[in-house]
């Protein structure tokens, strides 16, 4: 039976780069306004002043320096702190399909594949802009693809779950060529008024072409090897937004946005991910010395350093575990694939690497990739 390979990748980078300083300045302007409105109560000791955010903290605690957003003006307006993304009619392409098309076209060009040759489209993301019809089915039509298409959501781990699902479908003959896309408009569910998390997210999109190796037209694709997925329930990262919102008494405006207990996530997800990767390596007979690279989920650079150090058994450098979150922020499901896209060209034939993503659920997935 033919192997399954990744033969192309692409990304979409949103138009607005927003630095920590710009985000902190908008956040702190809101803090000033609220504190001065409550100055008398604060003076009397009846109320605590809201604390400022700081760029130094953000850089040190997360490694994030900047992020790309679909709209910056609404996010940086201290009275709003939310992107302005106008509604579109049903006849216009949806925003996520527009993002997906840019990333998908790059991936198709890299793989030398036409949209019409794709027979499986998976849109895998943390936040889909509507319930149905599936974004993937709209994208399938826009690309002139055949076969079948569906959306899936495994939060930040979505890309690895989609890759594993596509490899299974191709291996069993249900599909021959798949396009996997991770469009994320994280800014629409981020709470830019929450000091603990206002700096975390960026927007973006990544795409992969995955196909049977005997159909592949490029010289050095990545063979999809062993893979392992794991889930374990946790309330430490939640987003309660959903269709039941209208059926219950209204809640505070930000209550149904992203929230997390970042410290607990840090402590609980690290062992889960290290165990997952080490288990996969043991199953595949891989030693840490054989691993050329880890493309990790891009949530926190300290976290990634820790995982890479444990898995590789040595002090990792940028070549071993590339960072893109300094420029992109946490782009949820797109992050590990953006890291793959921007940092795979230099790997020589025979190189072995692992793509690994993790997040809410908890959920985590790891996939061994070998360069032909």
Ligand X SMILES: CC(C)(COP(=O)(O)OP(=O)(O)OC[C@H]1O[C@@H](n2cnc3c(N)ncnc32)[C@H](O)[C@@H]1OP(=O)(O)O)[C@@H](O)C(=O)NCCC(=O)NCCS
> Residue 160, interface with ligand X (CB under 6 A)?
no
- Segment near ligand X (CB under 6 A); pick from 11-19, 74-82, 135-143, 295-303: 295-303
> Residue 62, interface with ligand X (CB under 6 A)?
yes
> Residue 156, interface with ligand X (CB under 6 A)?
yes
Q: Where are the alpha helices (DSSP H) in 79-196?
A: 95-111, 135-143, 158-171
Instruction: Tell me how far apart the alpha carbons of residues 304 and 325 are, in angstroms, rounded to a whole number.
Output: 11
For ligand X, the closer of residues 141 and 197 by Cβ is 197
Catalytic (active-site) positions: 156
Q: Where are the alpha helices (DSSP H) in 172-299?
A: 262-284
Instruction: Tell me how far apart the alpha carbons of residues 204 and 328 are, in angstroms, rounded to a whole number.
Output: 8
* CB of 298 closer than 8 Å to CB of 336: yes
Instruction: Tell me how far apart the alpha carbons of residues 210 and 177 are, in angstroms, rounded to a whole number.
Output: 6
Interacting residue with ligand X among 281, 299, 355, 366 (CB under 6 A): 299
In the chain, the N- to C-terminal Cα span, in Å, equals 17
* CB of 219 closer than 8 Å to CB of 213: no
- Segment near ligand X (CB under 6 A); pick from 107-115, 226-234, 299-307, 345-353: 299-307
For ligand X, the closer of residues 93 and 262 by Cβ is 262
Interacting residue with ligand X among 196, 256, 268, 275 (CB under 6 A): 196
> Residue 296, interface with ligand X (CB under 6 A)?
no
For ligand X, the closer of residues 221 and 359 by Cβ is 359
Interacting residue with ligand X among 65, 105, 195, 310 (CB under 6 A): 195
Instruction: Tell me how far apart the alpha carbons of residues 199 and 110 are, in angstroms, rounded to a whole number.
Output: 33
> Residue 237, interface with ligand X (CB under 6 A)?
yes
Instruction: Tell me how far apart the alpha carbons of residues 178 and 217 are, in angstroms, rounded to a whole number.
Output: 14
What residue ranges bind ligand X (CB under 6 A)?
A: 53-54, 57-58, 61-62, 156, 195-196, 237, 260, 262-263, 265-266, 299-300, 303, 330, 332, 359
């Amino acid at each position: 039976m033919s192997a399954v390979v990744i033969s192309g990748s692409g990304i979409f980078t949103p138009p607005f780069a927003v630095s920590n300083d710009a985000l902190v300045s908008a956040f702190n302007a809101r803090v000033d306004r609220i504190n001065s409105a409550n100055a008398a109560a604060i003076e009397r000791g009846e109320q605590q002043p809201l604390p400022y955010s700081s760029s130094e903290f953000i850089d040190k605690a997360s490694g994030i320096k900047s992020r790309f957003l679909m709209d910056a003006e609404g996010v940086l307006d201290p009275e709003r702190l939310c992107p302005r993304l106008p509604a579109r009619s049903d006849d216009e392409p949806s925003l996520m399909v527009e993002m997906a098309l840019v990333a998908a076209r790059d991936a198709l060009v890299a793989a030398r594949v036409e949209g019409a040759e794709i027979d499986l489209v998976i849109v895998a993301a943390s936040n889909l802009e509507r319930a149905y019809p599936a974004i993937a089915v709209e994208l399938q039509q826009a690309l002139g693809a055949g076969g079948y298409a569906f959306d899936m959501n495994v939060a930040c781990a979505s890309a690895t779950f989609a890759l594993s699902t596509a490899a299974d479908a191709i291996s069993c003959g249900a599909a021959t060529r798949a396009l996997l896309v991770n469009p994320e408009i994280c800014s629409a569910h981020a709470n830019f008024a929450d000091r603990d998390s206002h700096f975390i997210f960026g927007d973006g999109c990544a795409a992969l072409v995955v196909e049977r190796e005997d159909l592949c037209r490029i010289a050095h694709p990545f063979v999809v090897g062993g893979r392992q997925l794991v889930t374990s329930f946790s309330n430490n990262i939640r987003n309660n937004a959903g269709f039941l919102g209208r059926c219950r008494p209204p809640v505070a405006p930000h209550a149904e946005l992203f929230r997390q207990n970042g410290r607990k996530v840090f402590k609980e997800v690290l062992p889960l991910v290290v165990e997952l990767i080490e288990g996969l390596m043991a199953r595949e007979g891989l030693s840490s010395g054989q691993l050329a690279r880890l493309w990790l989920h891009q949530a926190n650079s300290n976290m990634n350093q820790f995982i890479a150090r444990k898995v590789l058994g040595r002090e990792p450098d940028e070549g071993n575990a590339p960072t893109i979150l300094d420029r992109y922020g946490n782009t949820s499901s797109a992050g590990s694939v953006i890291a793959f896209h921007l940092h795979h060209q230099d790997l020589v034939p025979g190189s072995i690497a692992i793509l690994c993503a993790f997040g809410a659920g908890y959920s985590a997935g790891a996939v061994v990739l070998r360069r032909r």
